[in-house]
Structure 1
Amino acid sequence: MHSTTTLTAAALAERFGLVLRGDGETEVDAVATLSGAGPRQLSFLSNPRYRSQLAGSAAGVVVVGEADADGLGRTLLVARDPYVAFAHIAALFDPPQAPRPGVHASAVVEAGARIDPSAEIGPLAFIGERSVVGAGAIVGPGCVVGEDCVVGAGSRLVARVTLVRRVRLGERVLIHPGAVLGADGFGLAMDGGRWIKVPQQGGVVVGDDCEIGANTTIDRGAIEDTVLEDDVRLDNQIQVGHNVRIGAHTAMAGCVAVAGSAVIGRYCLVGGGAGIVGHITVCDRVVITAMALVTSSIDAPGEYSSGTPLMDNRSWRKSAARFRQLDALARQVQRLDKETP
């Protein structure tokens, strides 16, 4: 990662409240991994499994925790949480794209839409009736902002993002390419042996400082809105069903699926490929591990898992054959317990 920014170790220490050890005049203009960094690059150590790379790293500056700061004879920035400190520093070398105010000649803006003069509307973008694009927002190439939508101040739709209808984004929301917000929820009713569609009359409300990954989909509500509270972070290819509510500061990894009307608490972490069934509640500060299936409400904070661990195929096939025998075995144990004097 390279930029035009150059900062000294002393300046970084002062800016982020870190403890400097070594040469404060060491200059850095990029960040890199321990194994790949050069003398003008900054790296970090937070995972003990990479500690062996530290001695041989050519990085000019390394961010470390107190436990790794002694006896290294190099320029260090000592942090309470090296990964958090590195994230703040790395942002200096990768500043967000600044808007280029104006509407591209190839964009289409409906007469009833309102665009702040400081916003950027990119090539081939579309802004629908009664929609609003706020100050400093960026609507990138090929994006579609349908009717009755709001793109909050400082938000960015990177490219080919679709806000179908009745989607309201807070401030500083970042949405990556291919995401679709506000499509119809999966609402069906069986009538005489045939499905009929239940109209989806709600919307999607996204709070401030949220991030939504590439090709993620968030359906609009059936009657009330689908809601993401502030600082929710969604990875790529996630499905969020209609009328779901996700609490503030919750993060979900790729390919999670959340069925309609589920309520997820605040500060939750959901691992990749996990599934959450509809109409249940998950309380605050729950960790759901990768590929788990949540089939009932969770009312106590903690870490939850489901499924069988990976094993060689021959062992798994033997275990799978025995699954069918579990009920009979359980009944046999019960009979033996009753017969035991």
Structure 2
Amino acid sequence: MTHAPHSLTLADVARHLGATLSGSGETPIRGLATLRGAGPDQVAFVTSRAYLKDLAATRAGGVLLHPDHGGSCPVPRLEMNNPYLGYARLSQLFDPLPSRDRAGIHPAATVADDVRLGENVCVAANAVIEAGAVLGSGVVVGPGSFIGADSQLGENTRLHANVTVCHGVVVGKRVILQSGCVIGGDGFGFAHDGSAWHKIAQLGGVVLGDDVEVGSCSSIDRGALGDTLIGDDVKIDSQVQIAHNVQIGDHSALAGCVGIAGSTRVGRHCMLGGGVGLSGHLTLCDGVQVTGMSLVTNSIHEPGVYSSGTGAMDNHQWRKNAVRFKQLDDIAKRLARLEKRRG
């Protein structure tokens, strides 16, 4: 990642973003802040019309915004057609985390003799790396993290504290694994003999593409036979459960508490809102968006927005609607009979 030099000016910021600068570019910039909280050495940003009410009173050294919103800006402005994307890129300049990385293996880490390490790898205290693992250049392994035997991590991948990457997992380049996530744990596979359950050994692995991020305390299970596959640039929020042999296409995003049952396939550029559940062995085509708390029980073959959850309402009204829901089948049959008589 790129870090902001001490002499960074507003003009430097504009060049970094490819933004159009209106006003003086000599102001020194040392950070980012909100419109209300920014001081004269910080850049603020406007990504929604809802925040325009705070623009006139800002004390920021500069404001990042859309060209249509710059008319009432009292300070120098950085204009971009996609200011939210500009904010994302600018945030990387002021991220202090990479500056704390120190290449080398901490004395309290445990690394097997045959582990292959690329250049500038950082392994923190109490990390464990088992035999046969391969870590590319610039990989950072946070304190207390575990990398299982024969796993592979691509260059510039980062494991935060207490991440578990189980055996035989392949992780791409520039992947971020947040604290507490588990990649490659056993899938939920059991056979019942009529009185007890018998565990099915999970013989597959997990493959994460490049530029994937997995949030804290999320789980991606290894495949029962083949691999669980996560495509490039997939973003997975915290507390998400992805079962064995699931496939997720490139550039898809999953919000918190999503649950996907085994062998379901999610296409490219899909978005699953918070708490969405997908039943097993389904297929979602490319470009599907499922709104929060929806349950998907059938495959979706046309791109678009889909919903099934119902919003909260007054409890008295909800109780009446719940009773009517149970009556829908009978009402539908009676309506069909009436239409038949009219026809």
- Flag whether TM exceeds 0.5 (same fold): yes
Shift in Å, 1:96: 4.8
The DSSP-based 3-state class of the residue aligned with 2:198 is: strand
| Counterpart position of 1:67 | 68
CA deviations on 1:212-243 (whole Å, 9 max, x unpaired) are 11001000001111111111111111101000
Shift in Å, 1:156: 0.9
Shift in Å, 1:6: 4.5
| Counterpart position of 1:245 | 247
The DSSP-based 3-state class of the residue aligned with 2:321 is: helix
2:60–2:75 CA contact under 8 A, matched in 1: no
| Counterpart position of 1:45 | 46
| Counterpart position of 1:199 | 201
Which one-letter code corresponds to 1:49 in the other structure? A
Equivalent-residue separation in structure 2 for 1:238 and 1:337 (angstroms): 47
- For residues 127 and 97 of structure 1, do their structure 2 counterparts lie closer, same or farther at Cα, with a shift above 3 Å needed? same
Which one-letter code corresponds to 1:211 in the other structure? E
Matched ranges for 1:74-113 at <5 A: 74-94=75-95, 96-97=97-98, 99-113=101-115
Shift in Å, 1:268: 1.1
Shift in Å, 1:206: 0.7
1:230 aligns with 2:232: yes
| Counterpart position of 1:24 | 25
- For residues 29 and 216 of structure 1, do their structure 2 counterparts lie closer, same or farther at Cα, with a shift above 3 Å needed? same
Unaligned runs of 5+ in 2: none
Equivalent-residue separation in structure 2 for 1:155 and 1:165 (angstroms): 17
- For residues 112 and 71 of structure 1, do their structure 2 counterparts lie closer, same or farther at Cα, with a shift above 3 Å needed? closer
CA deviations on 1:117-161 (whole Å, 9 max, x unpaired) are 521111111111211122111111001111111122111111100
The equivalent position to 1:286 in structure 2, one of 280, 285, 288, is 288
| Counterpart position of 1:140 | 142
1:30–1:42 CA contact under 8 A, matched in 2: yes
The DSSP-based 3-state class of the residue aligned with 2:34 is: coil
Shift in Å, 1:5: 3.9
Shift in Å, 1:15: 2.6
The DSSP-based 3-state class of the residue aligned with 1:325 is: helix
The DSSP-based 3-state class of the residue aligned with 1:147 is: coil
Which one-letter code corresponds to 1:65 in the other structure? H
Matched ranges for 1:328-339 at <5 A: 328-339=330-341
Which one-letter code corresponds to 1:324 in the other structure? K
CA deviations on 1:162-199 (whole Å, 9 max, x unpaired) are 11211111111110110101110111122243221111
Report the aligned-residue RMSD: 1.7
Q: TM-score, normalised on structure 2?
A: 0.95
Larger strand proportion of the pair: 1
Shift in Å, 1:116: 2.8
Shift in Å, 1:3: 7.3
Which one-letter code corresponds to 1:340 in the other structure? R
Which one-letter code corresponds to 2:307 in the other structure? S
Query: Which deviates more from structure 2 when the two are superposed, residues 30-39 or residues 173-182?
Result: 30-39
Query: Which deviates more from structure 2 when the two are superposed, residues 106-115 or residues 94-103?
Result: 94-103
Equivalent-residue separation in structure 2 for 1:106 and 1:118 (angstroms): 18
The DSSP-based 3-state class of the residue aligned with 2:166 is: strand
Equivalent-residue separation in structure 2 for 1:189 and 1:307 (angstroms): 32
| Counterpart position of 1:57 | 58
| Counterpart position of 1:188 | 190
Shift in Å, 1:298: 1.1
1:125 aligns with 2:136: no
1:322 aligns with 2:324: yes
Which one-letter code corresponds to 1:34 in the other structure? L
Equivalent-residue separation in structure 1 for 2:225 and 2:342 (angstroms): 59
| Counterpart position of 1:272 | 274
1:5–1:93 CA contact under 8 A, matched in 2: no
Identity %: 45
Shift in Å, 1:95: 5.2
Equivalent-residue separation in structure 1 for 2:6 and 2:299 (angstroms): 49
Shift in Å, 1:340: 3.0
Query: Which deviates more from structure 2 when the two are superposed, residues 132-141 or residues 217-226?
Result: 132-141
The DSSP-based 3-state class of the residue aligned with 1:28 is: coil
Query: Which deviates more from structure 2 when the two are superposed, residues 224-233 or residues 52-61?
Result: 52-61
Which one-letter code corresponds to 1:78 in the other structure? E
Equivalent-residue separation in structure 2 for 1:116 and 1:340 (angstroms): 78
Equivalent-residue separation in structure 2 for 1:290 and 1:321 (angstroms): 24
The DSSP-based 3-state class of the residue aligned with 1:80 is: coil
Shift in Å, 1:80: 0.7
The DSSP-based 3-state class of the residue aligned with 1:332 is: helix
The DSSP-based 3-state class of the residue aligned with 1:189 is: strand
Equivalent-residue separation in structure 2 for 1:151 and 1:71 (angstroms): 49
CA deviations on 1:255-309 (whole Å, 9 max, x unpaired) are 1111111111111111111111111111111111111111111111111111212
Which one-letter code corresponds to 2:257 in the other structure? C
